[in-house]
Amino acid sequence: MESKPAGLSQSETEGQVHDLLVIGGGPAGSSTAYWAAKAGLDVVFVEKKVFPRDKTCGDGLTPRAVHQLEAMGLGARLASTHRFEGLRTVAHGRTMELKWPDHPVFPSYGYVVKRSELDTFVAENAVSAGATLLAGTAATEPIMDGPLVLGTKLEDSVTAETREVRARFVVIADGANSRFGRSVGTTRNRAMPQGMAIRTYYESPRHDDPFIESALDFRDRSGNSLPGYGWIFPVGDGTINVGVGLLSTFRDWKQVNTSHLMTEFAHALPDYWEIDPENPTQAPTGGRLPMGGSVGPKSGANWLVVGDAAGSVNPFNGEGIDYAYETGRISADLIAEAIESRSRQPLERYRQILEADYGQYFKVARLFAKVIGRPALMRELTRVGMRSETLMDWVLRIMANLMDDDRTGGAEAVYRTAAALSRVIPEPSAKSDL
């Protein structure tokens, strides 16, 4: 994709007020742009990098994310990438292979796709639907009029040329650091958990393994237990994505050296992966995962916040791509309704919709994050879990948010009990109006 594939020239954008301006061309921004363009809106989305661009990630797409991609018409495109059937968990000397559950909505397969590839074809898809992508263009400063965001100042990432773009509505999808979001007033609730993760790639003959793998307890070369959990996601291109993540609920998390964790985890990988732990194909990189709906406010007079910029990552498993697609789609629908009805009122429902869709689940997940922040407790829980495949199947269904509202099965029953508990356990300093 070229730097401005379907971009407007300066003379075409100046003076024009678009229906929707989207800041960021990652999963959240591209999904917003796609669904809004599909609804007939005049959409511009700006991305400071030029596709294909790398993004630090595990590259794992679970059934929830696949469902959204298929809804955007990308099922055939995905089929050319590496498909997997489920999750292999390794802990306490035991291994279990858990297939994705049958579900009335979500497929029973996932994919691993490098973000340089995934984000490029999802952005291209939004352009094909009619959205205009300004790639290699950073949104540097919102143009405000009281509570309204009228647009943004732009800077060309190569030439440093500046200009402006204006729109009736703005969706902020600028990722975990969300500088644009902060400049219109969003903050992260520090009482809620945050994730931190690091990953790299290794060559492996098992690069096309049909299971992604997670290590729930691992040790360094001296036999000491390490915090966090590790993943091995086969990419299908000769490499595997290997990473480690941990939560801010872990007492000493600020002292944790993630590069050290990464090195030790690579050395602890089961032999069957046949990697050379000293030779990743690229230097490890890390990032933060704002989770559990921890960033707000989620909306303003004419703007909405989506994806990581809204703290949408699932605290149970660190997945954020699916929630980025989902929140993007919800925001596009509301803005299309607002344009249609010539009223900003539909935007007021955004927060309620997020609360209805994720509020309870994220609350349970935040409680869970507190529990697994205590390594000894986490070890005991995994030790018990790893003795029962049925129990681990339930855990997978809960953690990947693949429960079926109409079922009375084990996972659903366990989750309902946890949800009931979470309603009576207060979260002391958490703000409730995010």
Ligand X SMILES: Cc1cc2nc3c(=O)[nH]c(=O)nc-3n(C[C@H](O)[C@H](O)[C@H](O)COP(=O)(O)OP(=O)(O)OC[C@H]3O[C@@H](n4cnc5c(N)ncnc54)[C@H](O)[C@@H]3O)c2cc1C
Write out the binding residues for ligand X, residues 127-146 only, by CB under 6 A: 138-139
Q: Does 46 bind ligand X (CB under 6 A)?
A: yes
Specify the pairing of strand 211-215 against strand 86-91: parallel
258, 257, 230: which is closest to 244 by C-alpha? 230
In the bound state with ligand X, the residue whose beta carbon lies nearer, of 321 and 418, is 321
What is the rounded CA–CA span in Å between residue 310 and residue 312? Answer: 5
Single out the segment in contact with ligand X by CB under 6 A; choices: 36-44, 75-83, 313-321, 401-409: 313-321
Single out the segment in contact with ligand X by CB under 6 A; choices: 20-28, 94-102, 267-275, 424-432: 20-28
CB–CB of 25/135 below 8 Å? yes
In the bound state with ligand X, the residue whose beta carbon lies nearer, of 27 and 193, is 27
356, 339, 350: which is closest to 310 by C-alpha? 350
What is the rounded CA–CA span in Å between residue 348 and residue 331? Answer: 11
Residue 93: partners with Cβ closer than 8 Å, 6 or more residues away: none
Tell me, residue by residue from 62 to 81, as one string, x for binding to ligand X by CB under 6 A and - for no binding.
---x----------------
Single out the segment in contact with ligand X by CB under 6 A; choices: 45-53, 81-89, 330-338, 342-350: 45-53
Measured in degrees and rounded to the nearest 5, phi and psi for residue 67 equal -55, -45
Write out the binding residues for ligand X, residues 373-432 only, by CB under 6 A: none
CB–CB of 332/126 below 8 Å? no
Per-position b or e across 52-85, b if 16+ CB within 10 A of its CB: ebebbbbbbbbbbbbbbbbebebeebbeebbbbb
Single out the segment in contact with ligand X by CB under 6 A; choices: 98-106, 251-259, 306-314, 339-347: 306-314
Vertex 76: Cα angle to 70 and 77 (nearest 5): 90
Task: Provide the angle, in degrees to the nearest 10, between the axes of the packed helices 27-38 and 321-341.
Answer: 30
- To the nearest whole angstrom, how small is the minimum distance from the Cβ of residue 357 to ligand X? 16
- To the nearest whole angstrom, how small is the minimum distance from the Cβ of residue 1 to ligand X? 13
- To the nearest whole angstrom, how small is the minimum distance from the Cβ of residue 93 to ligand X? 26
Residue from 20, 21, 22, 23 in contact with ligand X (CB under 6 A): 23
Q: Percentages helix, strand, coil for the chain, rounded to the nearest 5?
A: 35, 25, 40
11, 115, 105: which is closest to 57 by C-alpha? 115
Residue from 27, 101, 181, 300 in contact with ligand X (CB under 6 A): 27
In the bound state with ligand X, the residue whose beta carbon lies nearer, of 173 and 192, is 173
Cite the DSSP H helix spans in 113-166: 115-128
In the bound state with ligand X, the residue whose beta carbon lies nearer, of 7 and 26, is 26
Q: Does 292 bind ligand X (CB under 6 A)?
A: no
Residue from 18, 38, 49, 366 in contact with ligand X (CB under 6 A): 49
Q: Does 82 bind ligand X (CB under 6 A)?
A: no
Residue from 269, 321, 332, 378 in contact with ligand X (CB under 6 A): 321
CB–CB of 83/110 below 8 Å? yes
Residue from 63, 175, 230, 300 in contact with ligand X (CB under 6 A): 175
Single out the segment in contact with ligand X by CB under 6 A; choices: 22-30, 36-44, 334-342, 397-405: 22-30
- Total interface residues for ligand X by CB under 6 A: 43
What one-letter code names the amino acid at 58? Answer: G
Write out the binding residues for ligand X, residues 241-280 only, by CB under 6 A: 243
Q: Is 187 helix (H, G, I), strand (E, B) or coil?
A: strand
Residue from 69, 96, 305, 313 in contact with ligand X (CB under 6 A): 313
Cβ-closest position to ligand X: 320
What is the rounded CA–CA span in Å between residue 45 and residue 28? Answer: 11
Q: Does 28 bind ligand X (CB under 6 A)?
A: yes
Write out the residues near ligand X by the rule CB under 6 A.
Answer: 23-29, 46-49, 55-60, 65, 138-139, 173-176, 179-180, 197-199, 243, 286-287, 289, 307-309, 313, 318-322, 324
